[in-house]
Amino acid sequence: MKRFEWVQASTTDDALGQSTRTCAELMDSNKKTSGASVVKAGGIDLLDLLKEGILSTQRVVNIRSIDDLHHISFDKKGCVIGPLLTLAEIAEHADIRKKFTALADAAEHIATPNIRNAATVGGNLLQRPRCWYFRSEEFNCLKKGGKDCPANVGENKYHAIFDNEKCSIVHPSTAAVALVALGASIELTSRKGKREVKLEEFFISPSEDVVKENRLAEGELITAITIPDNGWKSAHIKLGEKDSFDWSIGDCAVALDMEGSTCKKAVIVLGAAAPVPYRATAAENFLKGKSIDEKTAREAGKLAVQNAKPLSQNEYKVTMLEVAAMRALLKAAQS
Ligand SMILES: Cc1cc2nc3c(=O)[nH]c(=O)nc-3n(C[C@H](O)[C@H](O)[C@H](O)COP(=O)(O)OP(=O)(O)OC[C@H]3O[C@@H](n4cnc5c(N)ncnc54)[C@H](O)[C@@H]3O)c2cc1C
């Protein structure tokens, strides 16, 4: 790990004054970024990147103890969460569990108790992909400014089954899958002002820009996450190789607008499936006006993966995601 300076920011203005760059910019070998600063929240992903030798920076700006970024409030419209809420705080919050079950379910099953105590929801949304070629300093893949995607012809068992032609990373954030299903937006603040972006539109596919995964701009911070309270039912199911200390290999968040036992509207989002949280729209449309039981949930699960294009080693993910979608639908409907 290369040496860096440490800056302790105690207010949002302090942090904004540091003109930080995104990790994607710092890791793009085609960009000149010497002298740049980067934000640290819980530090779980950032320190991995620094230790792996694929990110270097002159300055790390620690935002972890900024009080005005650590808050939660509820009103009739919904809930506003500060980006520094930890995953453990989200998983344990009684009102989040009651109103936004999918988010509490998702946060509860990320990584390990130790990591959930340190990792923040803002950092979770912005962590970089876990693709082993991207994470190795031995490979200069497309995301780091290289010329090809080694995963597409190499070891790809954990990679994408949708939208995988150019670069087959899967989106790493489990919280994002739940927040997209719940229709969340994020507030982005820079020295120029604030903007609000629907989380679903914040993430970008490699076909639009292969170097970055989201629309965070230079000097911007996530300063709030808003979840609308529509009274919908929701759930999240994560499947992995281990119960703890592991990433998802297939997960699904579902949000349901129900009238009695009839589904008026469903939002179904697959995780660890594509470079962005993946909306299963054919399954969503199929469920409109139907009751959700084992038969319709199974059919919806099949429709959710109907356009999958697995790579040489990840066909097993098609079945996993089909099952995750079916189970998440039943769990949400029965909650
Ligand atoms: C064994 C293991 C298993 C894991 N399993 C999972 C899993 O199943 N699902 C999952 O989602 N994750 C998983 N993770 C990843 C872990 O949850 C993330 O690394 C963590 O949530 C990142 O949050 P952080 O606060 O530590 O972010 P940091 O490392 O501090 O920051 C991450 C990125 O976000 C930027 N950043 C942070 N906060 C802000 C802000 N407010 N505004 C602007 N930029 C900001 C930083 O500059 C950096 O680029 C796992 C990790 C490990 C080690």
Q: Calculate how far, in angstroms, residue 306's C-alpha sits from the geometric centre of ligand 1.
A: 31
Same domain, 262 and 311: yes
| 302 vs 322: CA distance, rounded Å | 6
Q: Which residue has the CA at smallest separation from atom 27 of ligand 1? A: 123
In this structure, what CATH number is given to the domain that contains residue 268?
3.30.390.50
Q: Which of 228, 244, 272 is the last residue of a domain?
A: 228
| 121 vs 30: CA distance, rounded Å | 30
Same domain, 256 and 205: no
| 265 vs 280: CA distance, rounded Å | 13
Residue 2 lies in a domain: no
Domain count for the chain: 2
Q: Are strands 37-40 and 78-81 parallel, antiparallel or unpaired?
A: unpaired
Same domain, 175 and 270: no
Q: Which of 201, 228, 255 is the last residue of a domain?
A: 228
| 102 vs 177: CA distance, rounded Å | 9
Question: Which residues neighbour 38 within 8 Å (Cβ) at sequence distance 6 or greater?
Answer: 20, 21, 22, 23, 26, 46, 55, 57, 59, 60, 61
Same domain, 329 and 202: no
Ligand 1, closest atom to CA 20?
47
Q: Is 130 in the pocket of ligand 1 (CB under 6 A)?
A: no
Q: Is 46 in the pocket of ligand 1 (CB under 6 A)?
A: yes
Contacts 24+ apart (CB under 8 A), 183-187: 183/227, 183/228, 183/230, 183/255, 183/267, 184/225, 184/226, 184/227, 184/228, 185/225, 185/226, 186/125, 186/222, 186/224, 186/225, 186/226, 187/222, 187/223, 187/224, 187/225, 187/226
| 157 vs 142: CA distance, rounded Å | 19
Ligand 1, closest atom to CA 48?
29
In this structure, what CATH number is given to the domain that contains residue 117?
3.30.465.10
Same domain, 119 and 193: yes
Find the domain containing 192 and state its range: 70-126+171-228
Each of the 335 residues of the chain gets a pLDDT tens digit; together they read 889 999 999 999 999 999 899 999 888 777 777 778 999 999 999 999 999 999 989 999 999 999 999 999 999 999 999 999 999 999 999 999 999 999 999 999 999 999 999 999 999 999 999 999 999 999 999 999 899 999 999 999 999 999 999 999 999 999 999 999 999 999 999 999 999 999 999 999 999 999 999 999 999 999 999 999 999 999 999 999 988 888 999 999 999 999 999 999 999 999 999 999 999 999 999 999 999 999 999 999 999 999 999 999 999 999 999 999 999 999 999 99
Same domain, 205 and 175: yes
pTM beyond 0.85: yes
Same domain, 239 and 324: yes
Ligand 1, closest atom to CA 38?
47
Same domain, 216 and 282: no
Structure tokens given for 205: 């596919």
Which of 127, 132, 211, 246 best tests ligand 1's pocket when mutated (most atoms within 8 Å of CB)? 127
